[in-house]
């Protein structure tokens, strides 16, 4: 390419012409091009982070669902003295940072609403079955 001021041949990557010292317009253009490229790049990273977060949330909740099944059994059998066993737990809603509402399906085909609390740091899971949910089982 040539200097836009003195028209002498210069390198394309030169910021200032070595002959007349004129600042080359192309330098600014290519800089803008880079920043657009960076924006696209940051956008892609953000999308990947969101996908990873969704994936982690999904695996966490499915692990939680599995861990909650024997706890529902325990509460029904020990606390309420009911001869039911829990087939599966499905998390339906996130209530707070560590709290979820879920549906527990029982072996007779009925389903009850439960809440699950999960404290990952303590690795503890609490299941609560409201009394009114158990009432209609009895
Ligand atoms: Zn020049």
> Each residue of 124-134: pLDDT tens digit?
899 999 988 98
> Each residue of 2-58: pLDDT tens digit?
888 899 998 888 888 899 998 887 554 444 555 666 777 777 777 777 777 777 766
Q: How far is the centre of ligand 1, averaged over its atoms, from the C-alpha of 14 (Å)? A: 11
Domain residues for the domain of 106 are: 64-135
**CA atoms of 128 and 102, how far apart (whole Å):** 10
* Closest to 66 measured CA to CA, from 85, 83, 91: 91
The dihedral sign for the CA sequence 86, 92, 93, 98: positive
Kindly tell me if the per-residue pLDDT of 63 is higher than 70: yes
Kindly tell me if the per-residue pLDDT of 59 is higher than 80: no
Q: Is residue 25 part of a domain?
A: no
Q: Is residue 107 part of a domain?
A: yes
> Each residue of 67-98: pLDDT tens digit?
999 999 999 999 989 999 999 999 999 998 88
Q: Domains in the chain: how many in total? A: 1
Q: How far is the centre of ligand 1, averaged over its atoms, from the C-alpha of 15 (Å)? A: 11
Q: Render 69-123 in DSSP notation, one character per residue.
A: HHHHHHIIIIIS-----EEEEEEEEE-SSSEEEEEEEETTS-EEEEEEEEETTTT
Kindly tell me if the per-residue pLDDT of 105 is higher than 70: yes
Q: Is residue 103 part of a domain?
A: yes
Q: Is residue 10 part of a domain?
A: no
């Amino acid at each position: 390419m040539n200097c836009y001021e003195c028209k002498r041949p210069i390198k394309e990557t030169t910021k200032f012409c070595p002959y007349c010292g004129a600042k080359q317009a192309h330098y600014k253009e290519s800089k803008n091009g880079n920043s657009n490229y960076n924006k696209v790049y940051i956008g892609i990273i953000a999308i990947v982070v969101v996908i990873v977060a969704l994936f982690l949330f999904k695996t966490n909740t499915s692990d939680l669902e599995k861990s909650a099944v024997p706890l529902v059994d325990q509460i029904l059998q020990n606390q309420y003295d009911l001869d039911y066993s829990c087939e599966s737990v499905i998390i339906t809603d996130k209530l707070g940072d560590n709290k979820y509402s879920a549906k527990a399906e029982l072996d007779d085909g009925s389903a009850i609403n439960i809440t699950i609390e999960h404290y990952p740091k303590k690795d503890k899971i609490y299941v609560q079955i409201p009394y009114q949910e158990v009432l209609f089982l009895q």
